[in-house]
Chain A
Amino acid sequence: MNWTCEQTEQLLTDYLDGLLPADEQHAFNLHVNSCERCTPLVSSVTHAMNSLRGLPELETPPRLVYHILDATLGPRETVSGWAAFLSWLRGFASPRFAYGAVSMAATFLMVVTVSGSINWKKPKLSDLAPSNIYRNTNRQVHLAYARGTKYVSDLRVVYEIQSRLRQDNDLPANRENTTPENKPTPGRTDGSGPASPRQQNRANDVSSQLQVLAEEVPLLSGKLSLVLLEGRTR
């Protein structure tokens, strides 16, 4: 089928509304895809149509219905008392107003609850005073800050202790201490340690020898014996 630009323009609405027969739609597509003039035309008209269809449906002004009813049925009887109050309340029944009111109430409740202004077991009217709300909120903020600071400080101490313990465990001397103490030493059957008793015996030997020397040499005996005696008592 030989399709022209004029045909595209004339049958554009049929194409957009899906009213073209299959063969014509095929020819339309073939032409539009290869025509420099028709491609932007179809694109812009499709965009305009979609934009038009995307326009929002506006809400009716609330007074319009009342004006129409007044103009057709005549002015309505004036209502008073509860009927007037209920009629006034009905004006707030729009979803947007209800959503806003619920959001505000929820925010207020959250602030009041978090600030600890209201004791929910024994609520008082004075709890809702702005000065009380401010004071309690301020107190809660400071308490939260102090608790946070203490928590961080505690964490630091714990971390420091842990890191020191880890360092101690990593030292080679301490690692030796982790070996079993009752491990038998080669050549020893009494289970005693090899170093310390010997050193202690040597020290004892030196001090006893010095004591003997002091007794034998009278010149030195005064000062030396004193030193030795002091050393032994320490």
Chain B
Amino acid sequence: MEQDAQLVQQCLQGDGSAWEELVRRHSRRIFNICYRFTGNRTEAEDLSQDVFLRVYRTLGSYRSAHGGFATWMTSVTRNLLIDHYRRTKRDRATDSLDDAMPVVENKESVGRRPDEQALLGELSAQVQAALTHLSPELREAVILRDLQQLEYSEIQAVLAVPEGTVKSRINRGRIELARILQQMGVRPS
């Protein structure tokens, strides 16, 4: 975290290599948040680029005293994702649960048999499809908690809502996700 703050200071002084280092350190995490939220690689790539552009432009407004750089960046990402969701809401109005099955992911699982890998890939695709059917408020809450493994206080900072609301959204998000997965025929073994 301190290293991030130091890199930000160097960036503000015009050090391009410090910015490159910040991009390399955070691009994977930001890309994953975007992908899990949209369920689309191309959109996730474009959105990640937009996130870094906005961060680059507003880097001067970051204050390390207000929290970690990663939390601040996640907050920028979340705002952009919500904007994007609102912009593209009309396009998704016709989407249904049946036609939203994404491409089966390639899980990096060294030592697993091909049939196990295929099963895991199928499950991942189903979970991703279920995730994109959650409302944006519930989706961002479960992504931050269960995928990004953030603490409640960090999620509270990112979403700018009270802790009780964070807990309630995570709770409802998980229950809703379980219900959608059951509708898709994915049940606990």
By a beta-carbon cutoff of 8 Å, the part of chain A in contact with chain B is: 9-10, 12-14, 16, 41, 43-49, 51-61, 64-65, 67-69, 71-73
Contacts and interface: CB of A to CB of B under 8 A. Distances in A.
Contact of A64 (B48, B108, B177, B178): B48
Interface of B: 16, 19-20, 23-24, 27-28, 31-32, 35-36, 41, 45, 48-49, 52-53, 56, 105-109, 120, 123-124, 127-128, 130-131, 142, 146-147, 167, 170-171, 174-175, 177-179, 181-182, 186-188
B127 A67 contact: no
Contact of A69 (B23, B108, B187, B188): B23
Given A54-B123, A64-B31, 14 more contacts: A10-B171, A12-B171, A44-B181, A45-B175, A48-B130, A48-B174, A52-B142, A55-B124, A58-B35, A65-B23, A65-B24, A68-B23, A71-B49, A73-B20
Contacts of B56: 72
A45 B179 CA distance: 8
Contact of A65 (B27, B171, B175): B27
A186 to B, nearest CB: 81
Contact of B53 (A55, A59, A71): A71
B175 A61 contact: no
A124 B55 CA distance: 58
A96 to B, nearest CB: 8
Contacts of B52: 68, 71-72
A52 B146 contact: yes
Contacts of A61: 31, 41, 45
A10 B172 CA distance: 9
A-B residue pairs, 7 tightest by C-beta = A47-B188, A48-B178, A13-B171, A44-B178, A72-B56, A52-B146, A68-B52
Contact of A56 (B23, B53, B105, B179): B105
A134 to B, nearest CB: 31
